């Protein structure tokens, strides 16, 4: 079943959140579009702002609270303005189907692709294992969005279209790798192991010259990001095969950096810690808060005796975090 308490979630400039009565005008206007009428998953034949508000008060609220139907909005992350609709329906404990449409004025900005990625995250966070989608053969834009968001075509078969006709459809599926088994909550943050969807923000962060400057790496290319994420996916336990734990720092559901803790001396239970915080989220004590939580995990749960950190001497922001949470030894 779907867990709406994990919403909203955001990727770049797209937010996935419950549909609100404030969206009613834009939603009703979007449903007048020809392509939305033909391809969108619209249970009703005609919508007015008032009928949308009624739908939100009745079915939408009920579906979200029971976890059986999620009628959501895609919104511009900066303004929260409605840009499209995303629905998860036919929900079971393992699978749900996704339908989506973007308001004609907001098309071509990547909201549909990112919306599908966010829907995958939402479904995974709710414990589902698979998302499916169906689309008409002529709907090239939808097929493009689905494939770039990690869906695979599994068959082409006659089925009932969203508009209720029998037609040939492409059936798509996306398997959702199980999410982190656990997460660590601090006052303002959530720390969790990496998952397969972390490539995009990791690349954005680590390809920034101002971030790479004080690290051992050059700014990451797409290939490097892929390799690094593969390594990190395995770093889920200091006492496991990799001897390391790589955690994503999330604030309000948005990844803003990462912390890693790894064993340097097994016999003497010594470890090292490293962190990177998105400079756009700097100056608010997030890095210290995350590092403190991971230190507590290292000392209390993993029973480490000493944890050290090393950094470029010119990296004063990171040194300030270290000074705040660790004892500095020159
Ligand atoms: C399908 C739809 C959601 C796409 O919205 P969007 O805002 O344009 O989506 P995005 O910007 O995220 O991505 C669109 C992708 O499709 C591509 N595309 C758009 N029109 C296309 C076409 N006619 N042929 C091939 N590709 C096309 C774009 O180039 C883009 O790919 P890119 O990122 O690789 O360049 C929108 O057109 C829509 O609402 N259509 C009506 C409802 C619908 O079809 N819903 C899907 C039901 S399964």
Q: Is the CB of 149 under 6 A from ligand 1?
A: no
- Same domain for 237 and 159? no
pLDDT given for residue 330 in this prediction: 44
Q: Are 277 and 289 in contact (CB under 8 A)?
A: no
- Same domain for 184 and 316? yes
Q: Domain tally for the chain?
A: 2
Q: Is the CB of 101 under 6 A from ligand 1?
A: yes
- Same domain for 26 and 148? yes
Q: Copy the structure tokens of residue 79.
A: 């303004």
Question: For 235-255, what is each residue's pLDDT tens digit?
Answer: 988 877 889 999 999 999 899
Q: How far is the CA of 107 from the centre of ligand 1 (A)?
A: 7
33/41 Cα distance (integer angstroms)? 13
Rounded to two decimals, the pTM is 0.65
- Same domain for 244 and 147? no
Q: Is the CB of 144 under 6 A from ligand 1?
A: yes
Q: How far is the CA of 144 from the centre of ligand 1 (A)?
A: 6
Q: How far is the CA of 145 from the centre of ligand 1 (A)?
A: 6
Atom of ligand 1 nearest to the CA of 144: 16
Q: Is the CB of 172 under 6 A from ligand 1?
A: no
CB atoms within 10 A of CB 129: 14
- Same domain for 260 and 315? yes
From the list 88, 25, 17, the residue with the least C-alpha distance to 52 is 25
pLDDT given for residue 316 in this prediction: 76
From the list 24, 49, 146, the residue with the least C-alpha distance to 97 is 146
Atom of ligand 1 nearest to the CA of 104: 39
Q: Is 207 inside a domain boundary?
A: yes
Q: Is the CB of 107 under 6 A from ligand 1?
A: yes
Last residue of a domain, one of 131, 155, 175: 175
Q: How far is the CA of 26 from the centre of ligand 1 (A)?
A: 19
Report H helices in the chain: 24-30, 34-39, 49-55, 61-66, 111-125, 140-148, 199-206, 209-212, 222-234, 286-296, 316-325
Q: Which domain holds residue 68?
A: 4-175
Question: In this structure, which residue's CA is closest to atom 48 in ligand 1?
Answer: 135
- What CATH number is attached to the domain comprising 319? 3.40.630.30
- Same domain for 170 and 183? no
Q: Is the CB of 140 under 6 A from ligand 1?
A: yes
- Same domain for 158 and 189? no
- Same domain for 45 and 113? yes
229/260 Cα distance (integer angstroms)? 13
- Same domain for 92 and 206? no
Question: For 172-204, what is each residue's pLDDT tens digit?
Answer: 999 886 545 578 899 999 999 999 889 999 999
- Same domain for 14 and 73? yes
Degrees to nearest 5, angle at CA 283 with 260 and 247: 15
Q: Is the CB of 109 under 6 A from ligand 1?
A: yes
- Same domain for 138 and 229? no
Last residue of a domain, one of 131, 147, 175: 175
Segments of the chain with pLDDT less than 50: 179, 330
Q: Are 14 and 110 in contact (CB under 8 A)?
A: yes
Pocket residue to mutate for ligand 1, from 112, 114, 143, 148, most atoms within 8 A of Cβ:
112
Q: Is the CB of 34 under 6 A from ligand 1?
A: no
Question: In this structure, which residue's CA is closest to atom 44 in ligand 1?
Answer: 39
């Amino acid at each position: 079943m779907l867990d709406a308490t994990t919403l909203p979630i955001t990727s770049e400039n797209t937010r996935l959140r419950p549909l609100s009565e404030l969206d009613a005008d834009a939603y009703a206007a979007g449903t007048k579009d020809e392509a939305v009428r033909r391809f969108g998953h619209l249970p009703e034949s005609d919508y007015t702002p008032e009928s949308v508000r009624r739908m939100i008060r009745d079915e939408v609220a009920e579906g979200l609270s029971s976890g059986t139907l999620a009628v959501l909005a895609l919104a511009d992350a900066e303004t929260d303005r409605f840009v499209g609709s995303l629905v998860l329906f036919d929900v079971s404990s393992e699978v749900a189907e996704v339908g989506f449409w973007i308001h004609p004025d907001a098309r071509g900005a990547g909201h549909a692709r990112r919306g599908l990625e966010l829907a995958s995250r939402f479904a995974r966070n709710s414990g589902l294992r698979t998302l499916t989608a169906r689309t008409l053969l002529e709907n090239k834009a939808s097929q493009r969005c689905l494939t770039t968001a990690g869906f695979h075509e599994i068959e082409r078969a006659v089925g009932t279209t969203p508009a209720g006709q029998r037609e040939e459809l492409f059936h798509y599926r996306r398997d959702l790798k199980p999410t982190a088994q656990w997460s660590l909550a601090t006052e303002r943050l959530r720390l969790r192991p990496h998952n397969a969807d972390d490539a995009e923000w990791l690349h954005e962060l680590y390809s920034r010259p101002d971030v790479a400057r004080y690290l051992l790496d050059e700014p990451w290319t797409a290939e490097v990001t892929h390799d690094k994420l593969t390594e990190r996916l395995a770093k889920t336990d200091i006492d496991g095969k990799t001897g390391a734990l790589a955690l994503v720092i999330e604030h309000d559901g948005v990844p803003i950096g990462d912390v890693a803790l790894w064993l340097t001396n097994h016999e003497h239970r010594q470890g090292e810690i490293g962190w990177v915080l998105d400079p756009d989220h700097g100056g608010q004590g997030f890095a210290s808060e995350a590092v403190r939580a991971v230190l507590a995990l290292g000392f209390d749960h993993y029973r480490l005796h000493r944890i050290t950190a090393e950094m470029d001497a010119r990296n004063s922001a990171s040194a300030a975090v270290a000074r705040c949470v660790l004892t500095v030894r020159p």
